[in-house]
Structure 1
Amino acid sequence: MTTNSSVCVIIAAKNAGATIARAVRSALAEAETFEVVVVDDGSTDGTGAEAFSADDGSGRLNIIRFDENRGPAAARNRAIDASTAPLLAILDADDFFLPGRFTQMMAEDQWDFIADNIVFVKEECVARVSTDVKHFHRHARLLALEDFIAGNISRRGAQRGEIGFLKPVMRREFLDRHRLRYNEKLRLGEDYDLYARALAARARYKIIHSCGYGAVVRHDSLSGKHRTEDLKRLYEADRALLASGLLTQEQKTLLRQHEKHIRDRYELRHFLDLKNSRGPMAALAYAATHPAAIPAIVGGIAADKKEAFVGSAPRPPSPQTAGHLRYLLPVIADADQR
């Protein structure tokens, strides 16, 4: 029997045989986990078998397979439909939960979405994380749509840390009431898009600063291999939200900035794709017939050359860095740790 604090953990996985068992074990270890739904999204390795190897015999693990890759949005929607728990949590196949994550979240009330801090860790340091991460103060606050959008506009030279990376637990009732699901056209920013639409529908999105999610830093992460077309679909999703009639003028202004940020990245990538596939003249012809794209192309190329010239000088650690660990949100120590 489910309770209002029962969680379905959703894991979309493609060729994650090396890490999926760890993710599944960490999800099953949480007392509030009612079910874990793994969607094997057209893997060509042993992802499904590795996920099954982590089964604890409790009957909570459900593995679904797509014969062809359909993307994380489709996989997560399939898991939502296949599950029954009132709360939904997303776990990436190469990441893991820290013990007691959901207990910290369930101590808060009055939320539709709730997210905690993320610790970024290298693969070789994963075994130490449970003991190295301290028990930080929850310091709960509500996230406004304006802050969410602004926090997702990345800047060159800045430490990667967009607030859209947060992995909230979501109330199924809110998603159903507002007919919200992942946009299956997106293979980049599908999380950002869902959370933005939820906030536009007045979701109470609470953030706590205690840390319960471990994100493994991997150079071969699928999220770092997006296509140029993925950028186009993401700024089109922004445009759809702008046309929804749900936003205030301030929210529209910020969302237009995000849309332009993504569209500029698309224009530069599209120009370079044309140059590489069809030659410089084809790329220049595109720029000549799309004059609005020229500032993004010229500015992007100039910034790339400046970065190459300056080199990758080490940056000072961010305020969220503690030893070998880096946190997405500022860490707020409990009174006995100050």
Structure 2
Amino acid sequence: MHSASVSTAIEVAIIIAAKDAAATIGEAVVSALAETETREVIVVDDGSSDGTSPAAWAADDGSGRLSVIRLDANRGPSHARNLAIERSTSPFIAILDADDRILKGRFRTFDATARWDIAADNILFVDERAALSLADIAMPAACSAPRLLSLDDFIDGNISRRGMNRGEFGFLKPVIRRSFLDAHGLRYSRHLRLGEDYDLYARALICGAVFELLPSCGYLARVRANSLSGRHRTEDLRRLAAASRALLRADGLADSSRQRLQVHARQVRDKYRLRRFLDLKRRSPLAAAGFLLSSAQGARAVIRGVLADKVAAARRALAPMNARQNREPFRFLFPVRPVEANVEK
């Protein structure tokens, strides 16, 4: 039991890195400011060419909690988030993407007195084309106990296995205790524009972070066909592959963790090799052939990747037209036990 004089509520800074997000930033800001636990909302307009900054200011509620930082040139989400973290003063930090939103009452389930360094709830992914109300969705029960997410669990949740869905724990949008970040000198890697969340969470767990996974769901992510996260460059994959290998150099890794990190690093490296081969093939078939001949392991990765892509394309072509057109309108990041009562709109 907590003492009546001890507040269990968190005070959180919500930071939003935004690039050309004028159409969605307003809804994100409104949802962040609506939470009573929100002490500050910091938007970093990362070199947008549209009206992202004015759109963010237009969503201000007059409480003095919103600030908008405008960067003249795009520096990437890691730089933008690190800048917002340095500007914020709250004891807890939460990340919100510019095209997502916080669900009402999200932070009530986060206990400031509990012994966690990182805590994350479930994510509701909604197809941007779906005309859904939250009242149409059975939300997960909030009464079951949280569980701890170990380094092994986290890496497992980011490894692809044939015929199985990944846990995709790298997509989690947790609340992070600032004191833990500062004590271990942790920030987003300035080199990464892809997988920066995965890299930060993995490094935090290696440093001994207590990572709690809550059964509730308080974060809504819109699934868009043209999202920035789906348009990564070959160079982004190369940098993520290097960051994945760097995790293996950490001191004190358990054998089980090292084995999982090696599998993940190999998968990212193979994705980079395939993308590099396809880039070379478009420019120079001779250069692409040379790339294949330069490494037997690289050649195997490319061949497996090409075959997998062709099989996936064939399956899509053979699927009924209605199945191709009707994606699932929503899904949760990890399996849930629904409750009968509907969430508030």
Q: Normalising to structure 2: TM-score of the pair?
A: 0.89
Aligned twin of 2:4: none
Letter in 2 for 1:253: Q
Which of 31, 41, 51 pairs up with 2:56?
A: 51
Letter in 2 for 1:111: W
1:165 and 1:226 mapped to 2: Cα distance?
A: 15
Q: Contact (CA 8 Å) 2:8, 2:111: kept in 1 or not?
A: no
Q: Which consecutive residues of structure 2, in runs of 5 or more, have no partner in the other structure? A: 1-6
2:112 and 2:330 mapped to 1: Cα distance?
A: 25
Aligned twin of 1:128: 133
Letter in 2 for 1:92: D
Change (3 A) 1:199 1:59: same
Q: Normalising to structure 1: TM-score of the pair?
A: 0.91
Output one character per residue of 1:296-317: Cα deviation in whole Å (capped at 9) or x when no partner.
0111111111222232537xx9
Output one character per residue of 1:243-273: Cα deviation in whole Å (capped at 9) or x when no partner.
1214111111100000000000000110010
Residue 241 (1) aligns with residue 247 (2) = yes
2:338 and 2:9 mapped to 1: Cα distance?
A: 29
Aligned twin of 2:27: 22
Q: Which consecutive residues of structure 1, in runs of 5 or more, have no partner in the other structure? A: 318-322
Q: Contact (CA 8 Å) 1:4, 1:86: kept in 2 or not?
A: no
Q: Secondary structure at the match of 1:326?
A: strand
Q: Contact (CA 8 Å) 2:45, 2:68: kept in 1 or not?
A: yes
Change (3 A) 1:148 1:242: same
1:73 and 1:152 mapped to 2: Cα distance?
A: 20
Aligned twin of 1:196: 202
1:43 and 1:336 mapped to 2: Cα distance?
A: 41
Residue 296 (1) aligns with residue 296 (2) = no
The percent of aligned pairs where both chains have the same amino acid is 53
Structure 1 position 325, deviation (Å): 2.7
Aligned twin of 1:266: 272
Q: Contact (CA 8 Å) 1:115, 1:168: kept in 2 or not?
A: yes
2:257 and 2:189 mapped to 1: Cα distance?
A: 21
Q: Contact (CA 8 Å) 2:10, 2:110: kept in 1 or not?
A: no
Which of 228, 231, 240 pairs up with 1:225?
A: 231
Q: Secondary structure at the match of 2:243?
A: helix
Output one character per residue of 1:282-303: Cα deviation in whole Å (capped at 9) or x when no partner.
1011111222201101111111
How do residues 1-338 of structure 1 correspond to structure 2 at under 5 angstroms? 5-106=10-111, 109-125=114-130, 128-129=133-134, 132-134=137-139, 136-139=141-144, 140-155=146-161, 158-159=164-165, 161-277=167-283, 279-311=284-316, 313=319, 324-334=329-339
Q: Contact (CA 8 Å) 1:209, 1:329: kept in 2 or not?
A: no
Change (3 A) 1:11 1:265: same
Output one character per residue of 1:168-222: Cα deviation in whole Å (capped at 9) or x when no partner.
0000000000000000100000000000000001100000121100000101100
Q: Secondary structure at the match of 1:311?
A: helix
Structure 1 position 65, deviation (Å): 1.1
1:132 and 1:267 mapped to 2: Cα distance?
A: 40
Change (3 A) 1:4 1:128: closer
1:44 and 1:294 mapped to 2: Cα distance?
A: 40
Q: Contact (CA 8 Å) 2:46, 2:72: kept in 1 or not?
A: yes
1:330 and 1:308 mapped to 2: Cα distance?
A: 28
Output one character per residue of 1:108-135: Cα deviation in whole Å (capped at 9) or x when no partner.
7211000001111123547612663535
Aligned twin of 1:320: none
Change (3 A) 1:121 1:261: same
Q: Contact (CA 8 Å) 1:209, 1:330: kept in 2 or not?
A: no
Q: Contact (CA 8 Å) 2:40, 2:66: kept in 1 or not?
A: yes
Structure 1 position 62, deviation (Å): 0.7
- Count of residue pairs brought into register by the alignment: 328
